[in-house]
Structure 1
């Protein structure tokens, strides 16, 4: 739980007693490689903060093609947020790509924590704002950048993920074929 405290304190300061009051809202879950946290049709009961591991958030279109919305690694938050905040069945999948550990937070717990400790409401707002900005930047990149630019942007933003994520998934995330990704990789060595 010390990782959680350090993560929170990147945005707000909390006392020992405040942290003790925060801890019960989070449950620890170990996750195996290829294990799903959320599948389409599931209730998205939790928002997850990653303590370790790499996760992929994606949806399947009507033809069964996978579309990656997000990769997530240590200190990142993830869920099917539409389902989580609306308390509806999920349209997304969240799968573990390497063994990891997450902390789980229910929406009810999030709301109670925000009410009990106003600082946490600020923390959650900052985290959501940063996530929204990253998502908007990803959409703009997909709409306006060519594959070379998208590849460079991904490599610059997430150099550690380039070595850990199979090329197949990086290609899906960037919206290019594996062959195109191989050319981009060769051109950027």
Structure 2
């Protein structure tokens, strides 16, 4: 739980007593490679803080084609937020790409914790805002950047994951073919 405290204290400071209260709202969970945190059609009961491992969030279209929304590693938060906040069935999938660990938080726990400690409400707002900004940047990049620019942004955003994520998923994320990715990879070296 030391990593959780460090993560929180990047945004706010907490006392030992406050942290003892905060950590009661998180449940640790080990996740195996290929194991899902959320699948399309499930209830999204948790928001996840990634403590270790790499996770892939994707949407499956009606033809069964996978569209990668994001990757997440240590200190990233993930959920199907529409399903989580509105307590609906998930439309997104989150799968573990290598053995990992997450901290799980229920929506009611988040609400109670925010009411108990106003500074945690601030923390969650800052984290959600950063995630929202990152999603907007990704959309703008997909709409306006060249494949080369998207590849460079990917390497900047996920420097420690580039070698761990299979190339087919990187190509899907960037919206390019495997052949194009190979060319980008060879020119980037």
Q: What TM-score bracket applies, with the shorter chain setting the length?
A: over 0.9
1:95-114 equivalences in 2 (<5 Å): 95-114=95-114
Offset of residue 74 of structure 1? 0.2
Name the structure 1 match of 2:141: 141
Say if 2:163 is the partner of 1:128: no
Runs of 4+ in 1 over 6 A off after TM superposition: none
Offset of residue 132 of structure 1? 0.5
Matches of 2:54 and 2:15, distance apart in 1: 30
Name the structure 2 match of 1:29: 29
Offset of residue 157 of structure 1? 2.2
Offset of residue 46 of structure 1? 0.2
What are the Cα deviations for residues 24-46 of structure 1, in whole angstroms up to 9, with x where unaligned? 10000000000001000000000
Name the structure 1 match of 2:73: 73
- Unaligned 5+ segments in structure 1 are none
Name the structure 2 match of 1:6: 6
What are the Cα deviations for residues 148-184 of structure 1, in whole angstroms up to 9, with x where unaligned? 1101111122211111100000000000111110011
Offset of residue 65 of structure 1? 0.4
- State the TM-score, normalizing by the size of structure 1: 0.99
Name the structure 1 match of 2:38: 38
- Unaligned 5+ segments in structure 2 are none
Name the structure 1 match of 2:175: 175
1:163 partner SS: coil
Matches of 2:176 and 2:155, distance apart in 1: 15
1:186 partner SS: helix
RMSD: 0.5
Matches of 1:158 and 1:71, distance apart in 2: 8
Name the structure 1 match of 2:153: 153
What are the Cα deviations for residues 105-152 of structure 1, in whole angstroms up to 9, with x where unaligned? 011000000000001000000000000000000000000001111011
